[in-house]
Amino acid sequence: MTLDQHPIWETVRDRIKVEWRGDDDAHDPRLVRGLELPLRGLDSTAIRRILETQIPCVACSRVICPFRVRKGMSDRMTLPREVFVSATCPTAINMGCNRTKAARAEQRRLVAVLQ
């Protein structure tokens, strides 16, 4: 099951923002910096549901959480205000997954679905 096939997709689809590299408006899928999901405005139950979502990694099929908090999040916050989206294993678990062709293809596919 991919992220856009998961039931949580209907909740997050319109909220996910594509971050582009560079200043131009070309929006070339090869120039995607990442996918961000702002959580402001959601209640704590919805945020917890998003953070508990699990899908298989597109590279190795290990079960992962595709919505992750960046390392710089303050310890004082109980719930994050923004997470990033990744369909591969965290680098602490398997550094190679996010560098595979499958990872690039999935990110491009998600960007296409979001546009």
Full residue range of the structural domain in which residue 25 is found: 3-114
CA 55 to chain centre: 11
Which stretches does DSSP call E strand in the chain? 17-20, 32-38, 55-56, 63-64, 67-68, 82-85
pLDDT at residue 31 greater than cutoff 70: no
Query: Letter for the amino acid at 56?
Result: P
Averaged pLDDT score across all residues of the chain: 87
pTM recorded for the entire structure: 0.85
Number of independent structural domains in the chain: 1
Q: Is 9 exposed, middle or buried (0-12, 13-18, 19+ CB in 10 A)?
A: middle
Q: Flag whether pLDDT at 84 surpasses 70.
A: yes
